Every structure is written in structure tokens, then in C-alpha cells.
């Protein structure tokens, strides 16, 4: 399949590489020049990358970036033809997603939102989980591409519902990790070692996939970005914006988002979101003891 892949960040570059390895004809573009993908052709603009493609796949940072790539100067819109499919694996506003779909739909182009979960490791190993919104006929066309880059996909409903589900997933991840980080911080202050506490957590009902995945990194004090804090912060703001549109109160998320505000201000935006722990440690005057301690 002829695929234009736009956005070669931590996740996108690995996804484009897996598409090329699976035998698809891939053309890539990235806002910052100099990022190439083995087995793929590089384009100078989104319009050039999209020309002649069957599927245009986006994986960029935020709603504004998607708007620019699609409809800005030398954007994808210049190369759209009837029968193309746009699939967006960015995490952006659900309401903006519906607006984008309406605009390209007027040109006979299908629009599928397919944000994913699985972090950097999942992108590299081709085991992402896609959270999909769109018409079933359009999704059917994308199955070989999802198979090359992920292990499962879940259709949430019509266009926009994939983004909605992704936001509520990240809401839960942020709140679960916050509880874990606060527990570790208080335990350290009380003199309970994290390596002693962790087996208890894992044997009890408070264990979770978030704890299982993040605990080894936390114990090694490895905050290199599997999922950068600034991107999680962006997603939490999107969730709060969606809640505001619908007059829904999310008091827990409002509190956690304030912690991300301070962590961003402290210069942790490019670290993994697990680095919010270091802010709690600073406030408490303790450090969670890891395997190197």
C-alpha cells in the first residue's frame, strides 16, 4: 500500500519504519528536516508526501500541528483526491477531529482517528494498541497497516470517538501513576523502602499495568522519555477542555494537571511523565530509594 507518513517523533519514526519493513511503499515527512527512515522516501512537504498516496498517516504533536499539516501552506489538502484515507494517530481534540473530518470529507476523503497506546517500546516492537474512530469500511482498508505497527485495535465508534477514548485512557494513567508516586513519596518519608513496598503492591488489589510498567524505571531512577511529560500534560489539558465543553467536573484531574504545570515549569517537560515523582520528592524533602541506592 502507498502510505504517506507525516511526523517522525519518538513514536512516528518507529511506526513508519515498521510499515516499510512490512513491504508498504512509504513516503515520510517531518517538520524538522534530517530525520530519515530506512526503506522510505523523504518528501519536502506534506503536500509532496501525500501526492499519489492511498493512505495519509499523521503522528504529530497536537491539534494545531494537525491543522497545519492538513490545511496549512503546502499542506495535505493540496494533494487530496477522492478515495484517499487520512488516519491520525496524534492525540488531539475530539471536536477538532470531527471538524477536520468534515472538511476532507467534502473532497471524498475518509478520515479515521487512531491514537495509540504502548509508548516507545510498543512502537519499536510493532505492538501498539490503536484506539479507533471512523467508518467501518475505512477501517477495513487500514487493517494491514495496523497489523504492521500494532497488535490490536479497538473501534470506539464514529470519527472522534477514538480521540475521546484516548483522552479518558490517559486521564486514568495519569491519576493511577500519581497515586503510585505519592505512595512512594510518603513511604520514603515514613522510612519504608520502595523495593520492600513494591512486592506488596504487586500482590494486592492496588497493582495495575501502570505500576508494573513504570516501577522498574522508577526504581532505577530512569526518567528518559518513553512518553514525554509535556505530551501527557497536553493530553490532560485536552481532557479538561473536553470536560469543560460538556460541563463535566473532573476535580482529581484538575489537581494532577496543576502538578504537571509545576513540573513543566521546573524544566521536566522532555523527561518521562514519571518524573512528576521528583517534584513530590522535592516538596517532601526525600528521595525514593532505587536499586542503585
Tell me the C-alpha to C-alpha distance, in Å, between residue 185 and each of 10, 189, 207: 29, 6, 17
- H helix runs in 118-275, sequence order: 119-125, 136-149, 161-190, 194-203, 209-219, 229-245, 251-265
pLDDT at 291: 65
Q: Angle CA(46)–CA(12)–CA(52) in degrees, nearest 5?
A: 35
Tell me the C-alpha to C-alpha distance, in Å, between residue 67 and each of 45, 76, 171, 205, 276: 14, 10, 24, 43, 30
Angle, in degrees to the nearest 10, between helices 209-219 and 194-203: 170
User: Is 166 marked active-site?
Assistant: yes
H helices, E strands: number in the chain: 12, 9
pTM for the complete prediction?
0.93
CA nearest 84: which of 113, 114, 58, 107?
A: 107
Over the chain (293 residues), the average pLDDT of each successive run of 10 is 96 96 98 90 97 98 97 98 98 97 97 95 96 97 97 97 98 98 98 96 96 96 95 97 96 98 97 98 94 52
Rounded Cα–Cα distance for residues 148 and 127 (Å): 9
- Catalytic residue, from 161, 166, 214, 234: name it: 166
User: Is the alpha carbon torsion for 192, 195, 196, 199 positive or negative?
Assistant: positive
pLDDT at 34: 79
- Asked if residue 79 lies in contact with residue 73, where contact means CB atoms within 8 angstroms, the answer is no
CA nearest 8: which of 27, 48, 36?
A: 36
pLDDT at 10: 87
Amino acid at each position: 500500500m502507498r502510505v504517506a507518513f507525516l511526523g517522525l517523533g519518538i513514536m512516528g519514526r518507529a511506526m513508519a519504519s515498521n510499515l516499510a519493513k512490512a513491504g508498504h511503499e512509504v513516503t515520510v515527512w517531518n517538520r524538522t528536516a534530517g530525520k530519515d527512515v530506512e526503506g522510505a522516501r523523504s518528501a519536502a512537504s506534506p503536500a509532496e508526501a501525500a501526492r499519489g498516496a492511498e493512505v495519509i498517516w499523521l503522528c504529530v504533536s497536537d491539534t494545531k500541528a494537525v491543522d497545519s499539516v492538513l490545511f496549512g501552506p503546502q499542506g495535505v489538502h493540496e494533494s487530496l483526491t477522492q478515495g484517499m484515507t487520512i488516519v491520525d494517530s496524534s492525540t488531539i481534540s475530539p471536536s477538532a477531529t470531527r471538524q477536520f473530518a468534515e472538511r476532507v470529507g467534502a473532497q471524498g476523503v475518509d478520515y479515521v482517528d487512531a491514537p495509540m497506546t504502548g509508548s516507545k517500546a510498543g512502537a519499536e516492537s510493532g505492538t501498539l494498541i490503536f484506539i479507533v474512530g471512523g467508518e467501518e469500511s475505512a477501517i477495513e482498508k487500514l487493517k494491514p497497516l495496523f497489523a504492521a505497527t500494532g497488535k490490536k485495535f479497538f473501534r470506539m465508534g464514529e470519527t472522534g470517538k477514538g480521540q475521546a477514548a484516548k483522552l479518558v485512557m490517559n486521564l486514568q494513567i495519569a491519576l493511577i501513576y500519581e497515586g503510585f508516586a505519592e505512595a512512594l513519596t510518603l513511604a520514603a518519608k515514613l522510612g519504608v523502602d520502595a523495593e520492600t513496598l513494591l512486592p506488596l503492591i504487586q500482590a494486592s488489589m492496588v497493582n495495575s499495568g501502570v505500576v508494573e510498567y513504570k516501577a522498574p524505571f522508577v526504581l532505577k531512577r530512569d526518567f528518559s522519555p518513553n512518553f514525554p511529560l509535556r505530551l501527557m500534560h497536553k493530553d490532560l489539558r485536552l481532557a479538561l477542555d473536553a470536560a469543560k465543553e460538556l460541563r463535566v467536573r473532573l476535580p482529581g484531574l484538575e489537581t494532577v494537571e496543576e502538578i504537571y504545570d509545576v513540573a513543566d515549569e521546573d524544566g521536566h517537560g522532555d523527561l518521562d511523565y514519571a518524573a512528576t515523582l521528583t517534584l513530590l520528592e522535592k516538596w517532601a524533602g526525600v528521595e525514593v530509594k532505587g536499586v542503585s541506592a
